[in-house]
Amino acid sequence: MSSVISLRAMFPLRRLAFLLFAAIPALALAGDGRKHPGNPAGPPRAPRSRRAVLPILPRATVLVDSARHELVVELPPVDLAAAREHDMTMVLEPIFEVEMPVSGSVWSYRVEVVDSGPRVLPKALLHHFNLRDPDRRELFLPIGLHVMAASKETPAASVPPLLFGLPFERGQRMIASAMLGNESPVAYRGVRVRLVLRYVPAHRPWPLFRVYPWGMDVQYPLGERPGGSKAFDLPPGRTVRSWESSPAIPGTLLGMGGHVHDHGVSIELRDVTTGEVIWHEHPRTDSLGAVVSLPVVRFYRWNRLGVHIVPEHRYRITAVYENPTGQVLPDGGMGAVGGLFLPDRGMTWPPVDPQDSVYQQDLYDTLWRPGESNPPMLHMTH
């Protein structure tokens, strides 16, 4: 049986979805209720014992709507040409640095595509958006924390703000990246990708629990280089891919979801030390066999908070595919899981070690762009 944490009562999560964004403690938010750049006044950023020295990156715009308690991260506008025949027009944006102007607890996010109007454009234009923290590590791997990811299929996600919050500190820096894709005959000018985070100001007595994103991928630690792609080729027949590790700190998995491509048969998370299967799912498919969805599980019950995991155990993710085509499918496979994690009482989220070789290689891949022999500067130091 899984280790559990008892509660007297639990409010249902409105959506645990594939939350890959992270979080904050402490600081009252003062404002006049209008949207404005973050107030630079207030306590200085907390010193970190370990910070990577990043190259000079262009800054994304970060606005604070103090009346609605929203942070709006916006990338600069780009033009998106119309597609030709059956081809898609792709625009890979530069890497941007995001500096958080306030502290609080984020409980909801959504990603929008807008024009200079700002008119909301079709979500189909968004190929992907990623947000990473270069100074805090992943739970199962010593690379920078993947805070959140979204694509055209990703819905808005939220958790109950009284219960859970993902902490951000004022002055905390992030790395944002995005790609746009246009399959329509219509050209768009001044297209902007916008991340909207709803938060609880730090002076509030809630949320009760500070939670963080976690993830595992069968192509960890680095995937295909350069670029760190987590896709892999599918030969004909059965393919099984696995990766295992131990968490950096003990805590509780609140829930999780996953991702596989077409021809995926199953994906699971197992406690290798005890042999217990924590999560095992089969993707939902349509009449043609294409993957439509993968169920999201919530580990909480009326009498427990979730599944407890510890650094003394090893945990393995396994993805299984059956390719019936008789041909190799390039980049046809992928296997990833992720969700929300609650550290044990007294535990703090670990920083990265900028001198770690895996961390340095992953940061290289994060900053790398196709066509570049090298990304801008990669000197890491304490």
**In the chain, pLDDT over 90 holds for what percent of residues?**
56
pLDDT of residue 7: 35
284 or 271, greater pLDDT: 271
Closest CA to 208 of 162, 158, 167: 162
Q: What is the mean pLDDT of residues 224-249?
A: 92
User: Do the domains 213-351 and 35-210 match in fold?
Assistant: yes
Q: What is the mean pLDDT of residues 107-122?
A: 89
237 or 46, greater pLDDT: 237
pLDDT tens column, 263-274: 999 999 999 999
372, pLDDT greater than 70: no
Q: What is the mean pLDDT of residues 317-334?
A: 94
pLDDT of residue 371: 62
Max mean pLDDT among 143-152, 282-291, 338-347 falls in: 338-347
315, pLDDT greater than 80: yes
- Look up the pTM and report it: 0.78
139, pLDDT greater than 80: yes
Peptide bond connecting 207 to the previous residue in cis, omega within 30 degrees of 0: yes
Distance (Å) of CA 295 to CA 95, 268, 280, 282, 337: 32, 12, 10, 8, 11
pLDDT tens column, 165-186: 999 999 999 999 999 999 899 9
Domain spanning 35-210, CATH architecture = Sandwich (2.60)
Tell me which residue has tokens 């050209």: 187
E-only strand ranges, 7-103:
35-37, 61-65, 70-74, 78-80, 89-92, 96-99
The CATH code belonging to domain 213-351 is 2.60.120.230
pLDDT of residue 87: 81
User: What is the identity of the amino acid at 253?
Assistant: L
pLDDT of residue 50: 65
Closest CA to 337 of 255, 263, 225, 227: 255
* Residue 275 pLDDT class (50, 70, 90 cuts): very high
* Residue 12 pLDDT class (50, 70, 90 cuts): very low
27, pLDDT greater than 80: no
Residues 359/144, Cβ–Cβ less than 8 Å: yes
pLDDT of residue 353: 92
d(CA 216, CA 315): 10
d(CA 124, CA 183): 9
The secondary structure of residue 93, as a DSSP letter, is P
* Residue 53 pLDDT class (50, 70, 90 cuts): confident
d(CA 227, CA 364): 8
Which residues lie closer than 8 Å to 236 by C-beta, 6 or more apart? 323, 324, 325, 326, 327, 328
pLDDT of residue 375: 54
Residues 178/123, Cβ–Cβ less than 8 Å: no
Q: Give residue limits of the domains in the chain.
A: 35-210, 213-351
Q: What is the mean pLDDT of residues 355-361?
A: 91
